[in-house]
Amino acid sequence: MNLDKKITILISWFLSRPKTTGILVFTLLFLVSNLILFLRYQIIKESEQREMSSILNVVHQNIEQSLKNSHISTLTLAMTIDDNGNPSNFDEIGKQLVDSNPNIDAVELVPNGVIKYVYPLKGNEPVVNFDVLNSPKARKSAMKAIKNRKIYYAGPLELKQGGKGIVGWFPVFKSNKFWGFCTVVIKFNTFLETSGIKTFSTDKYYFQFSKTNPETGKEEFFLPNKKNFTNKTHLTVSFPDGDWKLYLITTNNYYLIKQLIPIAILAIVLSLICGLFTTSLLKRPSELQRLVHSQALRLMKSEIKFKSIFEQAAIGIAHIDSNSGTFIEANERFCQMLGYETNEISKMDYMMITHPNDLENDFKKMRLLKRGVIREFGLEKRFFHKDGNIVWASVTITPLWSVGEKPTSHIGIIEDITDKKEAQDRIKRSEKRFKSLFNNSPIPLWEEDFSEVKKYLTELGLIDMPREEVEAYLKNNIDVIRKCLSLVKVIDVNNMCLALHSVKDKNILKGKLSTIFDDESIPIFSKQLIAITQRQNHITGDSQIKFMDNQYKHIHFRWSVVPEYEKTLERVLVSTEDITERKNSEEVILKSQQKIESLINTIDGIVWEGDPNTFDFTFISRKVEDILGYTPEEWLGTPSFWINHVHPDDKEWVIAFMSRYTYEKRQHDFEYRMIRKDGEIVWLRDIVSVVVENDIAVNLRGIMIDITKAKMAEIELNNTLHLVTEQNKRLLNFSYIVSHNLRSHTSNIQSISNLIESADTDEERDEMIQLLKSVSSVLNETMNNLNEVVTIQTNINLIIEPLNLKKYINKTLDVLREQLVKNDVIIHNDVNKEIEVKYNPAYLESILLNFISNAIRYGHAERQTVIDLKSYQEDGKTVLEISDNGIGIDLEKNGEKLFGMYKTFTNHADARGIGLFISKNQIDAMGGKIVVKSTIDEGTTFKIYFR
């Protein structure tokens, strides 16, 4: 059977089975449309991934560049620190760094972990003298930087000066010992602005920034929209220098599916229509015309759907006449991109809105497309926005004619990349700023390549060899040093380096170091080689070398490996600062200082200089060791040493006094106490001069004179005078009591004596004698009471010892146990068992016995007596509070005479009016006081204050 017959049979089979044929057509079209949808989904998904990757890459580069610039700033700061750990020109260099680098908001120097230098200082005052290594929040990140010997970025965290930010800790080592940190501060808002995170966040994507909390181990997020995004499409990059992660996340994970659903539905509908059409066509050929019309309507609806998709696309789409360049059609996104309305675009051609400098490339590619050399092309070009601004776009052109056909029109897919271009421009400007910073640095800088040197030293087996052995080897093999010198490549030098070496062309200094330096450079170069063998990344030193003008000069060099090049040493920064004048000046100053110091140390007083803002001392003479026992090194080695050793009772007023007179820029002279090293108290007279420049206090100078002996004599004299005055007051008061109390008794005795003499009978005389005995007994009791008062007021050598207050209260309650039981008294003893008071034991027993027995004696007849005892601290003093619910005292009537001798306020048979008087005198004698509150018929509360 030939092929034609087989085809005829197959056709007949399909024509005879219209339903089966329709199902097969539907199935075939459905599978093909699904395949097309799947491929379309893959293309869109890949495009989305490329777009996300591009955006994330730009932001990643921006952040890396920002961190790189910050790192360079810390390196520059580190180079300002000399061998003694003192920075030079910090404010000037800090200003240049902050002004030239928009990525950072402040720079700091942190010697020994304490922030001492900040630029700009305004707004950052709260961080000055902040101890980083003793701060729970800052210590971990700072210690990590020290451990890794590289910069580490802490945060985002709450800054002491306010707001949230990032702090870059760059550890500085001097002679392989930790000196402190060079720090950059980046406010979090600045970080977001310079990175482009805010710029690239759209309705389609958003960013998230995170860091693992070292305390909890959990990942913390710092940007809005912190919802779980693990089920969403996202990309991530890491930043090891800060242990950060940056995520780019799609806002809607299902938007692609939503876009393809209408097309899928359309494909199903078309497949079903084609299947039914085929079935109908085979069943009723007569209805072909009607079906054609129906199909046309469906195609029209389909075109409307495609038109809707065209208009709602997320990127610009334009249908363009390939011959005239006019816009046949453009979607809303393209019009929004350029600021035109749809009707305005339809009257324009692409030449009118294309930048003139990009037209030639556009024409060239269109000619290739029309000739069939290429089937599509893409390019980046500039459009003019309606407002005149330039819009950068990525354009993809696809023709709508088949191969061999005459060009008709084409489709342009236009994506706005203005933000990306601006980000790239910012990176270029940042690199330009770095280059400018290097070239215009006030410090002579060399950028060198030591990679070949390290390879050579590795071949010799010197890497990780003990320092002493390396030093001995190099000393005995000068040729090895010369060989290493020839292997160093000079990458670049800055302008100050040219000035230092008195040359105008960089090429004279670039190339091999062996052509520039001779054997005089061997000592300084040997230190660098030793550092390489010991894997040191930073060394400094002073040396004397011969320059190209044949003059010998002193230089201070700093040799630092650029981070990330520690393994290869391909980039090393070396500064060679001319310190010849400084060395000569230092020698002159040293001799002058030695003379001045010798003169100062002969003065019988402590000569000192200090900071007017912090009162930290910058100089103190050797006499301090004789007077206070501290060496000058101890004094100057600790910040706030003087303030910390002023007597605690004088510290507050001394600081206030110094601050006020320093602020007013007035000389002052005052006396205060300090604690010697052996714990003794020393009285000092401090005569202070305020050094003023430009109406600003810049320094304090003074001399401390030991006046302890004179002060002790003065205090002793004042104490004696005070004691005599008090005794006179008490004596005068006692004389009033004696004259008042004894006068009544003597008058009674005199009257009774007269009555005895005039008595007519023995019975009257006996009665008067009995009355005289009674008055004599009362007089004797009064004399005993007065004698006890005299003893209290004249006893200046009382035995005072620490006494447990609760123990003595319990002892008193035991003494009064019979009265407590007899009167059914309830005692609430809430006194702390740990409290001790320094008191005379007899006085304390007497006071407690008087007050508690009074509370029992004057209980209210209509209720059970309750006595409450409790203790607490008030204004630094221990207070014992004794409260009862007894009959109370009318304080308005009797308040002024409450503690008078023989003053009674009740009709109680046992009331004598002496107990409160004696207790008051005992409390006064011990330097305390007593306060009373009372309400009639409610009760009384006594508060006894112990000194």
Strands in 438-533 per DSSP E: 445-449, 489-493, 511-512
Q: Which residue has the tokens 């390019």?
A: 379
CA–CA gap between residue 115 and residue 554 (Å, rounded)? 31
Specify the pTM.
0.32
CA–CA gap between residue 276 and residue 280 (Å, rounded)? 6
Residue 818: partners with Cβ closer than 8 Å, 6 or more residues away:
none
Cβ atoms of 639 and 129 closer than 8 Å: yes
CA–CA gap between residue 531 and residue 467 (Å, rounded)? 9
List, in sequence order, the alpha helices (H) in 758-884: 762-794, 805-815, 817-822, 841-857
CA–CA gap between residue 934 and residue 916 (Å, rounded)? 15
Which range (123-127, 272-276, 357-361) has the least confidence? 272-276
489 closest CA partner among 454, 531, 444, 537 = 454
Question: What is the per-residue pLDDT for 553?
Answer: 77
Residue 193: partners with Cβ closer than 8 Å, 6 or more residues away:
none
* 3-state class (DSSP) for residue 765: helix
Residue 813: partners with Cβ closer than 8 Å, 6 or more residues away:
820, 827, 829, 852
The predicted-structure confidence for 566-584, as pLDDT tens digits, reads as follows: 888 888 888 878 777 777 7
Residue 29: partners with Cβ closer than 8 Å, 6 or more residues away:
267, 270, 271, 274, 275
Token representation of residue 655: 């600081």
Look up residue 401 and give its DSSP letter: S
Element (H, E) at 554: strand 552-561
- The pLDDT mean for the chain works out to 80
Please check the confidence at residue 514 and state whether its pLDDT lies above 70: no
Question: What is the per-residue pLDDT for 736?
Answer: 44
Residue 727: partners with Cβ closer than 8 Å, 6 or more residues away:
793, 794
Which range (167-171, 415-419, 769-773) has the least confidence? 769-773
Q: Which amino acid is at 481?
A: I
Residue 654 CB neighbours (<10 A): 21
Question: What is the per-residue pLDDT for 285?
Answer: 47
Classify residue 913 by burial, with Cβ atoms within 10 Å: 0-12, 13-18, 19+.
middle
The predicted-structure confidence for 545-567, as pLDDT tens digits, reads as follows: 766 666 777 788 888 998 888 88
Look up residue 797 and give its DSSP letter: S
Maximum separation of any 2 CA atoms in the chain, in Å? 186
Question: What is the per-residue pLDDT for 219?
Answer: 83
Q: For 561, list phi and psi in degrees, rounded to 5.
A: -80, 130
Please check the confidence at residue 664 and state whether its pLDDT lies above 70: yes
Please check the confidence at residue 295 and state whether its pLDDT lies above 70: no
The predicted-structure confidence for 743-794, as pLDDT tens digits, reads as follows: 545 655 666 777 777 777 777 777 777 766 665 665 555 555 455 555 555 5
Token representation of residue 101: 């680098």
The predicted-structure confidence for 832-860, as pLDDT tens digits, reads as follows: 888 998 888 877 888 888 888 888 888 88
The CA-atom distances, in angstroms, between 718 and each of 276, 327, 685, 712, 725 are 123, 106, 19, 10, 10
Mean pLDDT throughout 144-163? 86
